[in-house]
Structures are given as C-alpha cells and as structure tokens.
Structure 1
Amino acid sequence: MDGVLLPKSWNVDQILDDLDQHGFAIINDAYPIDYLHALSAECLSHLNQFRNAAIQNGVISNIRSDHILWLNEELNIAQQHIQYLNALSAHLNQAFFLGIQEAEAHFACYNAGEFYALHRDNPQGKNGRIISTVYYLHEEWQDDWGGQLRLQDKNDVWQIIHPRPNRIAIFQSDLLHEVIQAKHQRLSITAWLRSGSPIW
C-alpha cells in the first residue's frame, strides 16, 4: 500500500526470513501503547454486537466456541491495523509472489472456557486465504491464563505462541493450529491476507 510506512517494530526482513524458514513470524510491541489502549477500548465497546463464531456458510460448529465481530469501515481504530497489514502484504507479494489482494478481519473474544480446536484456515486451498495474522489487544495477560496459539510450523515442529499484549502472530494459512482453552477473557483481531473474495 503506497504511502503507509510500517511501524519500526515490524522488522520486515526478519518477518520474511521467519516465514520462509518456519512458516510463521512474531512481532512483539507492535504498536505504540496508546494505540493498544484505543483499540482495546473500541473492541470492548462493541462486545454486545459479537456473535457466535461460525465455520463456513454460517454453520455453528463445536470445533470452536469464541465470539466475533467482523470489521467494517465504522471501526476506525481497527482499520488502522488493516492498513498496516495491507502494507505488509505488498512486501509479502514482492518476496514470495503470493498474489495477496485484500485483507478480511474480525475482532475475536475468547471468554473463560472457550477454545478453537485443531484446524487449518485454508482447508484444501478453497478460500483464498494465504497468510493468517492474530493481533492480541487485551492489555494484560499471564501465561497461566491459557489461550495460547498452538501451531505446527512448516517443518512439522509444534510451537506455542503466548497471547501477550501488543503481539502479532503471522503464519501460513494452511498450517495446522488451535487456540488452547482460555481461562480469562482473550481479545484479538484475526485477519487473513487473501487472494480474492471467498468462494463459499
């Protein structure tokens, strides 16, 4: 995306190398703390609009129990994050010829006891999702609160990514992963960098 400079904490060369070598990358301290506060407040102020997450075609499944709110233009603070993801997509396309055209995203809330079982974000390559990202926007987290992202990297090594505040996890959408049951409210923006509109 022309004209959008990525935050200094987004070390593009490291992100590209980690994705190439392992299929996933981590950005810590992604944004200024004021932005984290503002985004968390925006998310929390819309919790009454969240709905049970569906898998495909609006079908609710017992594979997941979180709640989501799809992002739109009215969520101005969250849109800033999407703009940065679009700018990152340009680097990904240049490096890996991925053909990413757009991002789709939603707020996600995992309340205590909620989870997302093992799955892939792009099963059988049918939905155009190429890269998945999760930005953790709760303002406090302790490792014993659960909610970790458990991910099988491209070398078949299982990784545990803790949902620490202001962290972004980036990974190939075809990798197997799950969200371990949370013991405390866990907030995030989940976004997919995709090649086009979904076909379902």
Structure 2
Amino acid sequence: MDGILLPKSWNVDLILNDLDQHGFAMIDDAYTAEYVHTLSEECISHLNQFRDAAIQNGVVSNIRSDHILWLNEELNIAQQHIQYLNALSAHLNQAFFLGIQEAEAHFACYNAGEFYALHRDNPQGKNGRMISTVYYLHEDWQSDWGGQLRLQDKNGEWHIIEPKPNRIAIFQSDLLHEVLQAKHQRLSITAWLRSGNSIW
C-alpha cells in the first residue's frame, strides 16, 4: 500500500479534512480519460455475469434493485482502482486510526427504474466496514437521469451527490444514505474499506 503514488487529482489533505468535518468527501476527475474508457469497457463486457444485489448475509430484498458483480483478480483494470483505494487507506489509518486492513468491492449497475433505499453500510458497527466509496465509471451522464447519492453527513445535513463520470464519493460507512431511482443505466464500483473494529 505504501509504494503506490496516488493520482494528482487525489488531494489527500482535502479528503481527510472533509471526512473529519463532514464525514464525506469527493474526488472529481479521478483518473485519465484512457483509464475511464478501459474500465468502463471491462465493466460493460461482464454485464451478462451481474446478478441481483443482496443485503446482509446474501438476502435479496426489495430495499434495493441494482445488479452487481464482485471484483476478483481476473478483473485487472478494476484492480488498479482498488490498489489506489488501498493506498488511500494508509492515509486514513494514519489520520483517524481506523485500522483498515482490506477493501472489498463490486461493479454495480442501476438500470432505469432501479434504486437503493435508505440504509447504512455498517449497521451497529458489526461488519467492519469503515469507509464506503462509490466510483462512477459511466462515460456520459445528464442531471435528469437520476441515480444520485443522497447522504446525511455526520452533522445531520442532507446532500445530493450527482453521479458525475470519473467522480469518487467517499463517506463513513455508518452514515445514512440512498441511491435515488435511476432513469438511465448507471455504472459504478462500490468499495468498502474494512477493519476488524468500528471506532467512529
């Protein structure tokens, strides 16, 4: 984790400050256009392998209707994103003593009409998820296509985060949030930075 240089667009000081003050942060223009394109192609080429998403313990529920594909070593392009998240984890551990040890991630596809209702990624602090991240990898998006992330920050304020292409949303996993209904196919990588403890 320590040997990877983060992209210049990743302002670590700003990320840490925003997480400290509000519980969430954003990175815009995260990667080069070439990487975005190859990552999008990798995701789209595997869409036939996606399955209905589930909540805790593999239970399929009407709380969400998206489709996912868990990342593995064979998805080489997506693994580069995970390596950068692991490198960011070293900074998060140093600043907040989170004890993050690993990342788990999946591609997510929200087709028109699909959503994810209000929830927390780490209810009761039981699953080790400390930080949640969503990387929007579709190459085009319009504001009236829906699919926004609606999130309540650590101070109780609500925010609407647009799924702009090449944007990463980063937030505490215990924050209440939802994905509003999409009106157009929305592609992303959802990743959780995990620890054995929950201390937020």
Name the TM-score class by shorter chain: over 0.9
Distance 1:105 1:8 in 2: 23
Name the TM-score, length of structure 2 as normaliser.
0.98
State, as a whole percentage, how many aligned pairs show the same letter.
88
Supply the RMSD in Å over aligned alpha carbons.
0.9
1:141-160 residue pairs with structure 2 within 5 A?
Answer: 141-160=141-160
Distance 1:150 1:110 in 2: 15
Q: CA deviation at 1:196?
A: 4.2
Q: Which residue is 1:181 aligned to?
A: 181
Structure 1 unaligned regions, length at least 5: none
SS at match of 1:57: helix
Q: Which residue is 1:67 aligned to?
A: 67
Q: CA deviation at 1:56?
A: 1.6
Distance 1:172 1:67 in 2: 23
Distance 2:18 2:57 in 1: 33
Note the alpha carbon deviations across 1:138-183, whole angstroms, 9 max, x for none. Answer: 0000000000000000010000000000000000000000000000
1:156-175 residue pairs with structure 2 within 5 A?
Answer: 156-175=156-175
- Matched to 2:19, the amino acid is L
Distance 2:88 2:123 in 1: 24
Structure 2 unaligned regions, length at least 5: none
Distance 2:20 2:3 in 1: 26
Q: CA deviation at 1:57?
A: 1.6
Q: CA deviation at 1:58?
A: 1.4
1:54-133 residue pairs with structure 2 within 5 A?
Answer: 54-133=54-133
- Matched to 2:28, the amino acid is N
What is the aligned residue count?
Answer: 197
